[in-house]
A = this chain, B = another copy of it.
Amino acid sequence: MTTKKATIKDVAREAKVSIASVSRVLNGLGGVTADTQEAVRQAAARLHYVPDSAARSLITGRTHTIGAVLPDLYGEFFSELIRGIDLAARARGLHLLVSSSHDGVEDAAAAVRAMRGRVDGLIVLSQFVDQAFLEKNLPADLPAVLLDSPVDNPRYPAINIDNDAGAQAMVGHLLDVGHASVAFITGPSGNFDAQQREKGYRAAMAAHAPHMPLNIIAGDFTEESGYRAGRELLAQRPRPQAVFAANDMMAVGCLYAFKEAGLDVPGDIALAGFDDILIARYVTPALSTVRVSITDLGKSALLLLTGLMEGKAHTSPATRTLGCDVVVRDSCGAHQTDVATINPSRAG
Q: Footprint of B on A, CB under 8 Å?
A: 3, 5, 50-55, 57-58, 63, 65, 72-76, 78-79, 82-83, 86-87, 90, 95-102, 113-114, 116-118, 139-141, 252, 278-279, 282-284
Which residues of chain B have C-beta atoms less than 8 A from A117's C-beta?
50-54
A-B contact pairs, 30 of them (CB 8 A): A5-B141, A50-B113, A52-B58, A53-B116, A53-B118, A54-B54, A54-B63, A54-B117, A54-B118, A65-B97, A72-B83, A73-B79, A76-B79, A76-B278, A79-B79, A79-B82, A83-B100, A83-B101, A90-B101, A95-B97, A95-B99, A96-B97, A96-B98, A97-B98, A252-B282, A278-B279, A279-B279, A279-B282, A282-B282, A283-B284
A114: chain B residues at CB < 8 Å are: 95
| Residue of chain B at shortest CB distance from A279 | B282
Would A82 and B53 count as touching, CB distance under 8 A? Answer: no
B residues less than 8 Å from A75 (CB atoms): 79
**A117–B8 alpha-carbon span in the complex (Å):** 14
Distance A78 CA – B58 CA, assembled complex (angstroms): 33
Please measure, in the bound complex, the distance between the C-alpha atom of A220 and the C-alpha atom of B117, giving whole angstroms: 43
A76 to B113, CA, bound (A): 29
Are A74 and B83 closer than 8 Å at their CB atoms? yes
The docked-state distance in angstroms from the alpha carbon of A279 to that of B280 is 9
**Chain B residue with Cβ nearest A48:** B139
Q: How far is the CB of A275 from chain B (nearest CB, A)?
A: 13
Contacting residues, chain B, for A90 (C-beta < 8 A)? 99, 101-102
- CA of A102 to CA of B118, assembled, Å: 23
Chain B positions within 8 Å of A96 at CB level? 97-99
A87 to B284 alpha-carbon distance, docked (Å): 34
Q: In the complex, A339→B269 CA distance in Å?
A: 34
Nearest-CB distance from A26 to chain B (Å)?
A: 14
Residue of B nearest to A67 (CB): B95
Is A101 a contact partner of B86 (Cβ separation < 8 A)?
yes
Q: Give the chain B neighbours of A83 by CB distance below 8 A.
A: 72-74, 100-101
**Contact A101/B78 with A5-B141, A116-B50, A117-B52 known, Cβ cut-off 8 Å:** no
In the complex, the answer to whether A139 meets B54 with C-beta atoms within 8 Å is: no
C-alpha spacing A56/B78, complex, angstroms: 31
Residues of B within 8 A of A252 (CB): 282
**Complex formed: what's the CA distance from A90 to B141 in Å?**
25
Q: A75 CA to B279 CA in the complex, in Å?
A: 12
Evaluate contact between B3 and A140: CB separation under 8 angstroms: yes
CA distance A117 to B114 in the complex (A): 18
